[in-house]
Amino acid sequence: MKIIYTKYNRNRLPRFQLKTSILTDNTEINYVQKEALTTDSKAHIKQIYDNYVFMSERYPHINTAEASLKDDSAITFEFAPGKSLDEHMLDAISKKNIPDLLRYIRDYIDYLKTFDITYQEIFKPTELFIDIFGFEPNFSDVVCMAEANIDLTFDNVFFDGSVFTVIDYEWIIHTSIPLNFIIYRSLSRLFWKYGEYLNSFLKLDDLFEEFQINEITQYQKMEMAFQEYVLGKNRFYNIGDQYTKKIETLNNVLDENKKSESQTINQLHLLSEYEDKINSLNSEKSLLLIKLENSNNTLNNRMIELDNYKSQEAHLKSESENIKKQFSHLQLKYDLLKKQHYEINLKIDQNITELLNHSLKRRAIFKRTKHLIAENQFLINEKDRVAQQSSEELALKNQELDLLNEQVAVKNIQINELSEQNHEFRLQINHLNLSLHEMTKKFNENNLSYTHLQKHNHEVVLENGRLSDLLKNLQHDYHQLKYEFVELKKQIFNDARRKEEDE
């Protein structure tokens, strides 16, 4: 097993001091291991395992990280899938997404209510409750969790999108605890971690009011008593004033670390805003490109229609030319018929003359003349009909040609308008491309700043680790000196007593 993370809890009382490690094996599967740091804390390890067994049997519907007792001094947990609720909520906080943040809190509260929930008209604390919290609170009409895990904070509940998983059973108190106290602890810890950023748009009191967490003073008193229960009344094992003068840079490093975390969150938020703006510009650009494409398609359709109209115009012009040719041909035919008519009239005159000269042939010539006159009248009527028909067809074709010319003029106007609109779209796209370039440049600059902050944050974390190791060594030296001091006092006392006895 390879250790990838370790945390020491030496600020607790000896019976609660643990080392928490994240381990990975050759298959890259992660495990969490809690190990006793003192002989007294071995019983606490056993209690954690008993809590896991209790949870599994009492709440079979609750998903828990499987635990196994390695020996009498260590317990190992499976690494839960997904992310902790704290990580999900940090994503919402970095985006100032209050609706998502409130939704996570509501889902968390609904999840807590799937445990063994009871109602007490008047809260009656047990001896165990008083032993841990040190007083009898005044609660009425209170909803409680029986056999409560009071450390069900957002860090200790994982969520993969559909299933909640409890990863820590260390602080199960086998008595009834007000449900709102657990919620109070979770919300308070959230603001303790991210309050510097959260307070810019959301207040802790607003959340207490939203979720009806009313008994704040009593919950604060319970929390202080619980900290004394774990750390000791005098906080002897906590980092006290006796170290702050010797390690003057530790608090500065911690403050710098918090500032770096805050700057990182602000930088992430700024990057998120730039990403949103870039996405918005890209969406607007895509919309304009779609409009431009539609405009181009409309323009192409109009050009195709114009080509069709031009083709029809050419066809009509061709037909008009043909009609003109036919009219010319008919005119020639008319002239020919007119000539023939003249010749026929001439022949009639000649025949009449001959008839006058030849009275014997008068009847035959008269009949012939009548036939020729009828034929001549038919040709005249035919000529007039063809001329009238040609004139009507020519007028109709001219009307169609005028209509096509009007449609071509309208299409030309539409094409000019589309060309102007197309030009405006291109100007807008060029403007958006320029804005997108500027936003991308700002995004890259902020991303570079974020990278520098990450590097600085990493250096601060390394320095923090170095100072923590130094602190551990100082604590060890302090305890060793204290032990030697006590032994020296005993020796001086024994020497003085022997001296008195000798005298």
460 located within any domain: no
The pLDDT value recorded for residue 365 is 61
The pLDDT value recorded for residue 249 is 41
Type of residue numbered 133: F
What percent of the chain is helix, strand and coil (3-state, nearest 5)? 70, 10, 20
Give every strand in the sheet of 67-71, ordered side by side: 2-8, 18-24, 30-36, 74-78, 67-71
The pLDDT value recorded for residue 494 is 76
Count of structural domains, the chain = 3
Q: In terms of domains, do 167 and 34 share one? A: no
CATH number of residue 195's parent domain = 3.90.1200
Structural domain for 155, as ranges? 81-237
Q: In terms of domains, do 118 and 8 share one? A: no
Please enumerate in sequence order all residues whose Cβ is within 8 A of that of 150, keeping only pairs 6 or more positions apart, or say none. Answer: 171, 172, 173, 177, 181, 182, 185, 226
Q: In terms of domains, do 175 and 43 share one? A: no
Q: What is the mean pLDDT of residues 388-417?
A: 79
User: What is the band of 248 on the pLDDT scale with cuts at 50, 70, 90?
Assistant: very low
313 located within any domain: yes
Domain stops at, among 78, 104, 137 = 78
- CA 387 to CA 478: how far, in whole Å? 130
426: its two tokens: 């291109």
Q: In terms of domains, do 85 and 198 share one? A: yes
As a residue count, the chain comes to: 503
Q: Tell me the per-residue pLDDT of 105-123, one tens digit each, with 9 for 90 and over.
A: 999 999 999 999 999 999 9
Q: In terms of domains, do 216 and 228 share one? A: yes
CATH number of residue 74's parent domain = 3.30.200
Q: In terms of domains, do 327 and 363 share one? A: yes
The pLDDT value recorded for residue 179 is 97
User: What is the band of 498 on the pLDDT scale with cuts at 50, 70, 90?
Assistant: confident
The pLDDT value recorded for residue 373 is 79
User: What is the band of 235 on the pLDDT scale with cuts at 50, 70, 90?
Assistant: low
Are 54 and 172 a contacting pair, CB within 8 Å?
yes
- Taking the CA of residue 239 as centre, how many other CA atoms within 13 Å lie in the half-sphere pointing to its CB? 16
The pLDDT value recorded for residue 339 is 79
State yes or no: pLDDT of 102 exceeds 60: yes
Angle at 135 between CA 129 and CA 136, to 5 degrees: 80
Domain stops at, among 78, 100, 124 = 78
User: What is the band of 274 on the pLDDT scale with cuts at 50, 70, 90?
Assistant: low
* Phi-psi map region of 232: left, alpha, beta (phi>0 left; psi -120 to 50 alpha): left
State yes or no: pLDDT of 103 exceeds 90: yes
Q: In terms of domains, do 353 and 434 share one? A: yes
Give the global pTM: 0.50
Please report which helix (H) or strand (E) contains residue 434, including its range: helix 362-502
User: What is the band of 304 on the pLDDT scale with cuts at 50, 70, 90?
Assistant: confident
Cα 24 off chain centre by: 32
The pLDDT value recorded for residue 101 is 96
Please enumerate in sequence order all residues whose Cβ is within 8 A of that of 165, keeping only pairs 6 or more positions apart, or say none. Answer: 63, 64, 65, 80, 81, 82, 157, 158, 159
- CA 15 to CA 271: how far, in whole Å? 46
247 located within any domain: no
State yes or no: pLDDT of 343 exceeds 50: yes
More confident residue, 187 or 500: 187
410: its two tokens: 């309208």
State yes or no: pLDDT of 346 exceeds 90: no
User: What is the band of 375 on the pLDDT scale with cuts at 50, 70, 90?
Assistant: confident
- C-alpha to C-alpha distances, 380 to 78, 323, 369, nearest whole angstrom: 115, 21, 16
- CA 77 to CA 34: how far, in whole Å? 8
Please enumerate in sequence order all residues whose Cβ is within 8 A of that of 229, keeping only pairs 6 or more positions apart, or say none. Answer: 132, 133, 134
- CA 144 to CA 119: how far, in whole Å? 6
263 located within any domain: no
Q: In terms of domains, do 224 and 152 share one? A: yes
Are 176 and 118 a contacting pair, CB within 8 Å?
yes
149 located within any domain: yes
**What mean pLDDT value characterizes the chain?**
81
Which residues are paired to 64 by β-bridges? 166
Q: In terms of domains, do 13 and 100 share one? A: no
Q: What is the mean pLDDT of residues 46-73?
A: 92
CATH number of residue 433's parent domain = 1.10.287.950
Please report which helix (H) or strand (E) contains residue 221, including its range: helix 216-231
Q: Tell me the per-residue pLDDT of 418-444, one tens digit each, with 9 for 90 and over.
A: 777 777 777 777 777 777 777 777 777
Q: In terms of domains, do 338 and 418 share one? A: yes
User: What is the band of 253 on the pLDDT scale with cuts at 50, 70, 90?
Assistant: very low
The pLDDT value recorded for residue 336 is 81
243 located within any domain: no
More confident residue, 198 or 301: 198
State yes or no: pLDDT of 385 exceeds 50: yes
Q: What is the mean pLDDT of residues 245-273?
A: 51
Count Cβ atoms within 10 A of the Cβ of residue 85 and give its class: 0-12 exposed, 13-18 middle, 19 or more buried: buried
The DSSP line for 353-417 is: HHHHH-GGGHHHHHHHHHHHHHHHHHHHHHHHHHHHHHHHHHHHHHHHHHHHHHHHHHHHHHHHH
Give every strand in the sheet of 177-178, ordered side by side: 117-122, 140-145, 177-178
The pLDDT value recorded for residue 219 is 96
Q: What is the mean pLDDT of residues 457-467?
A: 76
SS (HEC) of 26-42:
CCCCEEEEEEECCCCCH
Q: In terms of domains, do 181 and 91 share one? A: yes
More confident residue, 272 or 430: 430
Q: Which of 66-70, 95-99, 255-259 has the lowest mean pLDDT?
A: 255-259
486 located within any domain: no
Q: Tell me the per-residue pLDDT of 129-142, one tens digit each, with 9 for 90 and over.
A: 999 999 999 999 99
Please enumerate in sequence order all residues whose Cβ is within 8 A of that of 396, keeping only pairs 6 or more positions apart, or say none. Answer: none
Domain stops at, among 78, 103, 126 = 78
Which residues are paired to 143 by β-bridges? 119
The pLDDT value recorded for residue 366 is 67
Determine how many CB atoms are found less than 10 A away from the CB of residue 210: 13
Q: In terms of domains, do 190 and 298 share one? A: no
19 located within any domain: yes
Q: Positive or negative CA dihedral for 395, 396, 402, 405?
A: negative
